[in-house]
Amino acid sequence: CRSCDSLLANPVTALVAPAVGIIVFALWGFLPLVKDIRNRIDHGGNWKQSPTYLISRSCLQPLLLWTGATLICRGLDPVVLRSSASQAVKTRLVTFVRSLSTVLAIAYVLTSLIQQVHKFLVDVRNPNDTKKMGLDFTVKAIYTGIWIAALSLFMELLGVNTKKWITAGGFGTVLLTLAGREILTNFISSVMINASRPFIVNEWITANIDGVEITGVVERVGMWSPTVLRGDDKEAIYIPNHKFTVSIVRNNSRRSHWRIKSYLAISHMDAGKISVTALNQSRTLHLSL
């Protein structure tokens, strides 16, 4: 029909239609195609644990989606609408989509790469390594920095001056510091705990908090929230992080030697057997060592 012919002859359709096809292919056809090609070449291994899947999902698929969104925006750029108001709305919408797709693609690829590097380092390290907690904290800080930078870049691409926001944010930080000193103190203390690592998750510690001796296994080291210990009666104990920086903390899990002190009840009639019992106990301890 004539309408179909005119639609196909439109240069906008020639750019937008392939772009939509790229997006549809990236969402529903790309990963199955890569999986099928991989299965024809390599029949072993789990698909979702393979490097091919990780690279395709974290890098290639976002790049395909970004390419499709960019081509759609490029196809809509030369379109001129009848009214100036509609043209302005179209221009801002195209700019918004182009900026959002670019920022999301960059941030997603970077965070995915960091996640894979973090997973690799965790797998090759000893699970009891005290540096694991510091590594987790560093990864969280990098994640936060990437998304803050992505938000700032998105605002700049939209034409918003982020310097004013940074200035307002600095003034707001002063107000928040005055209003929430406890929260800021907890955060700084959590940074000190992650840096010095006096204890890590699953370690048994004893702390003297405000004159009260608290013993438990570290269940979670909070960043903004308190640190959680699991007590002897399996109760959850929430302790603000800054309490650990001003208190004495004994890490029972890092003892180099253990001293076991026990009392044995022996009747007067068996007093003559004490020497034989002590000798047997000594032999047992030597054999166990």
148 and 194 housed in the same domain: no
Structure tokens at 24: 């549809």
What span, in angstroms and rounded, lies between the C-alpha atoms of 32 and 25?
Answer: 10
106 and 221 housed in the same domain: no
What span, in angstroms and rounded, lies between the C-alpha atoms of 21 and 5?
Answer: 19
89 and 131 housed in the same domain: yes
How far is C-alpha 95 from the geometric centre of its chain's CA atoms? 30
What are 249's strand-pairing partners?
207
What is the DSSP-derived secondary structure letter of residue 46?
Answer: -
CATH code, domain with 220: 2.30.30.60
109 and 42 housed in the same domain: yes
pLDDT tens sequence across 121-163:
776 666 555 556 666 777 777 777 777 777 777 776 666 666 6
45 and 148 housed in the same domain: yes
Any idea which of 7-11, 90-94, 235-239 has the lowest mean pLDDT?
7-11
pLDDT of residue 246: 82
Which string of b and e fits 219-229 if b means at least 16 CB within 10 Å?
A: eebbbeebbbb
Asked if residue 133 is part of any domain, the answer here is yes
Of the two residues 129 and 110, the one the predictor is more confident about is 110
pLDDT tens sequence across 169-227:
555 555 555 545 666 677 778 878 877 788 888 899 999 888 889 999 999 888 777 88
Domain with 238 in it = 186-254
